[in-house]
Amino acid sequence: MYVKIPQVGTVVTGDDVEIGANTCIDRGALNNTTIGNGTKIDDLVMIGHNCKVGNNVVLSGRVGMAGSTTIGDNCQAGGGAGFAGHLSVPAGTIIGGGAGVPGTIDAPGYYAGYMPALPHKEFFNILSVIKRLPEMRRSLKRVEAKLDSLNKTE
């Protein structure tokens, strides 16, 4: 059974904020949803309840932020990027267009990537392999080097 939670917070926008057409900013559930000074929000952006968007952030069209996402100052998110919610993104981070952010990002940087929806188990199997690719590559290079040295001794 679903339980309705009254949305008693508000939306607080800073100075020099621009909000594009058909953008939706949900009021906070218990606290406020906040948009920092100088932030530019394109058309068709969705900002969920209790989100905190820092100063001078740029959100391109169709960015979606689920509730309680915190975006640091001077961040950028390309068109169609999505944030899973209840996560933080550090100041100065760039999220590439179409990228999905499933959890908190610990270090600022440029994050990108796109994967179509797959069955849950298949996606996590692929993800576990992707995470191990750098070590698998190093291991393969070691094996190739040993093979090369064996071939030279023949």
- CA angle, residues 143, 144, 149, in degrees to nearest 5: 100
- The answer to whether 19 and 42 are in contact (CB under 8 A) is no
Structure tokens at 151: 């071939």
Q: Which of 19, 25, 39, 49 is catalytic?
A: 49
- The answer to whether 98 and 79 are in contact (CB under 8 A) is yes
Residues 46 and 44: their CA atoms lie apart, in Å, by 7
Residues 29 and 31: their CA atoms lie apart, in Å, by 6
Structure tokens at 25: 């900013």
Say whether 49 is catalytic.
yes
- The answer to whether 65 and 86 are in contact (CB under 8 A) is no
Residues annotated as part of the active site: 49
